[in-house]
Structure 1
Amino acid sequence: MPDPAAFNRSPCPLAVTLDILGDKWSLIVIRDLFRGVNRYNDFLKSPESITTNILADRLKRLEEHGLISKSAYQENPLRYDYALTKKGRALGPVLREIVHWANAHYPDTVKPFAVK
């Protein structure tokens, strides 16, 4: 996990969170994990069409920050299942609020999905 004292921009909680989750893809990967997606090829089936190199980078970054974990389910070739950690699952209420905000202000968005 990255050194918590080494902030990219500042110790501001919003800046720190944006440094970890503020790109185009990280919250989509986390959303999919909440939906039960847990294998690399299944993330690629998401309607947002993430590319393989970006997916690999985001999975690695989310694991480095302790939001997800991986465990091998196949040895040859080596393949992993991914899961939210306790820290990652703690984002559930945040995602719910983002969904509610989007639904309230952008009525054509998909209505709330279940975040466990």
Structure 2
Amino acid sequence: MPLPLLLLDLDNTLVDRDAAFRAAVVDFLAEYGLAAVDVGWVMDLDGGGYAARGEVAAAMADRYGDVVPVAAVRALLDGGGADRVVLAEDARDALVKARAGAGVAAS
């Protein structure tokens, strides 16, 4: 019997990646005493997560290098919003229905 297949897109589909990253950027800027208005600059630079991490890191190091350690910039870019990601209730419901339709028990 063939197994069911479900393909999903995570970032900005099941979860609001941009909102999670934005929250991380806000905290990052506050932690280092940087201008809160720079959140827009960082978000534009990040390009919704599609910009090359190395280019984003280099631009941030150029802008904040006197204040922020390079390791802190890398930590933001590598893990940024991961601890702020929230699965929307409607997405959760859809996944539960898909699991039930596939005959997989919820855990």
Q: Which one has a larger percent strand, Structure 1 or Structure 2?
A: 1
Q: Which one has a larger percent helix, Structure 1 or Structure 2?
A: 2
**With CA pairs under 8 Å and 6+ residues apart, which has the higher RCO, 1 or 2?**
2
Give your verdict on TM over 0.5: no
Report which of the two structures shows the higher radius of gyration computed on alpha carbons: 2
TM-score by length of 2: 0.30
TM-score by length of 1: 0.29
